[in-house]
Amino acid sequence: MEQRQLGRSGLRVSRLGLGTMTWSRDTDEHEATAQLREFVDAGGTLVDTSASYAEGGAEELLGALLGDVVAREDLVLCTKAGVRRTVDGAVVDASRGALLDSLDASLRRLRTDHVDLWLVQTPDPRTCLEETVSALRAAVATGRTRYVGLSNHPGWQLARAATLLAGDPGLAAVEMEYSLLQRGIEREVLPAAAALGVGTLAWSPLGRGVLTGKYRRTVPADSRAASPHLAGFVQPYLARGASAVVEAVATAADGLERTPLEVALAWVRDRTGVASAIVGARTAAQLRGSLGAEDLVLPEELMRALDEVSAPPVSYPERF
């Protein structure tokens, strides 16, 4: 698998990343072990997790597999902080203390003394960005992470954080949702990242599973859309407006004699500025479907056709 430079940093990541959002909840230890082995055997290195996934359960499961299933040094570990669970539900907290406490807890669960990439998972309107950035700087200075970045932040916050971290330690990455069904980052985030030398990691490149075509006729009983805790995550992309894009992907797949999953994944993976597309699989069999896209290069005319059918509306001021 191709290893790509993450922005202008010295970190290199596999162009396909393994997401762990379902680990320890919908993905048990047996399936996680099989996924990790197949991913590494295929040349994958980037494994993405978060302190908020299964309330830390995903990190615990991943940490239990390090050393026995795959060597720690063979992976690029990325985790995130800034969302914590309380009795009242999820709370966004990107204050310095909360972030650094979260990172320490992540390291204990992962059974390692450092991660390779640490991200702030979402903006916190109650904490000034300067304070959040100070936690990123401290994490690098103390050796708890090698590189830092943001996730799900708008373009202006990306630019401000990169300015505050300029030179030492620098902002290495921004992780954003990006697919044929969600191209919003093309307006400001992608251009800002390119100008600032920040690498982009694309999460949910399959449109929360909708671009695989599994929902074209009905909602499968074993799918995320039928899951009590993930149905709301998928539902926005089951609206009527998404169907034209899904059908275009299915048509393209038929013409290439490939699967819709492979076409949708290859489109994101090879977009300018994308260092890695992160796929989350519930089972090893599902992961194999994503790994199957490794040899697919979409023809230019097909890329243009998919661009046109999925083009997001552009208005003031971007249209200028």
For CA atoms 122, 227, 36, 71, the dihedral sign is: positive
Contacts of 137 (CB under 8 A, 6+ apart): 148, 165, 168, 169
* Phi (first) and psi of residue 197, to 5 degrees: 75, 30
Burial tier of 110 (Cβ tally within 10 Å: 0-12, 13-18, 19+): buried
Contacts of 142 (CB under 8 A, 6+ apart): none
Q: Is 177 helix (H, G, I), strand (E, B) or coil?
A: strand
184: number of Cβ within 10 Å: 13
The candidate with the shortest Cα–Cα distance to 253, out of 237, 265, 242, 238, is 265
Q: CA–CA separation, 190 vs 196, rounded Å?
A: 10
Active-site annotation, residues: 53
Q: How far apart are the first and last CA of the chain?
A: 38
Check: CB of residue 219 under 8 Å from CB of residue 306: no
The candidate with the shortest Cα–Cα distance to 115, out of 106, 124, 123, is 106
* N residues, the chain: 320
Residue 225: DSSP 8-state: G
